[in-house]
Amino acid sequence: MNLKELLEKIRQELKLRNYSPRTVESYLGCLNEYFKYTKNIKREPDVALIKKYLLEKQDRKQSSQTINLHLQAIKYFYREVMKNSSAIDVKFAKTASKLPIVLSRAEIEKIISSLGNMKHKLLIALAYGAGLRVSEIINLRVKDINLDELTIHIKGAKGNKDRITIFPEKLLPLIKNLAVLKNGYDYIFESNRGGRLDERSVQKVFENALRRAGIKKEATFHSLRHSFATHLLESGVDVRYVQELLGHANIRTTQIYTKVTNPALRNIKSPLE
């Protein structure tokens, strides 16, 4: 089996296990690089070679997230494709503990106000108001929004999980106007050519709005979701409800936002008079 055939076999295995398109492409990219490095692909993993491969990545100053992704892909290959149960005793690289970049309510308002295009304005407002990932906002269909109950049914989100999140009542008139001529299976936010928007174009809309609003923070589209979680906690919403709205499997993932919005710390005044 040549390299092209092997990668195609791995692609099919990943799809059968319902991995997201992004994960499929990430794993294939990692394994393509690993196979070219090893040259001779065997059923048994060469742990010493794997360690050498990952250490060289570290020496090239590649991030711990990148190194861990390569290790996950390699472990998946031997376990699921080569059906080898041998333990690959390599520890994951320690990842940096960084706080999420959060925009203030005033900054969110500036970003939305800077947009002249009504569809873009609504897209950004809804992503923030419902705590949506970029992949979720572009896949949102008319039938996924329950306007009577003010809820959104997110389907096949990260980890292929469904969840229910809140719909901001303030956006009711705008969403009704946008969806008036659409059927239930139409995307809420379609491209100018029809069909689904692509992620990069949505991220570009956000980046341009951020610049026009004069905000210097290194925020991304995902910062809208970070801000949604942080502002709910600031409003006194229990962290477990926030966890459910975000669709986090582990509460520790949600608790990172409590470090951004610790009221006790904010009430402490500096000794500098």
Catalytic residues: 133, 158, 222, 225, 248, 257
Distance, in Å, from the CA atom of 232 to the CA atom of 165, rounded to the nearest integer, reads 13
What does each C-alpha distance from 79 to 10, 55, 89, 253, 269 come to in angstroms? 12, 22, 13, 27, 54
CA distance 41 to 163: 41
* Rounded-to-integer distance, Cα 254 and Cα 262, Å: 14
Measured CA to CA, the distance from residue 265 to residue 273 in angstroms comes to 18
Task: State the greatest distance between any 2 C-alpha atoms of the chain, in Å, as a whole number.
Answer: 73
Q: Distance (Å, rounded) from C-alpha 167 to C-alpha 232?
A: 14
End-to-end CA distance of the chain: 73
Q: How far is CA 200 from CA 137, 189, 196, 197, in A?
A: 12, 14, 12, 9
Can you list the pairs that 79-87 forms with residues at least 24 positions away whose Cβ atoms lie under 8 Å?
Answer: 80/13, 80/17, 81/9, 81/10, 81/13, 82/43, 84/43, 84/44, 84/45, 86/44, 86/45
Return the structure tokens found at 257.
């936002």
Sheet with strand 145-146: strands edge to edge: 145-146, 151-154, 163-166
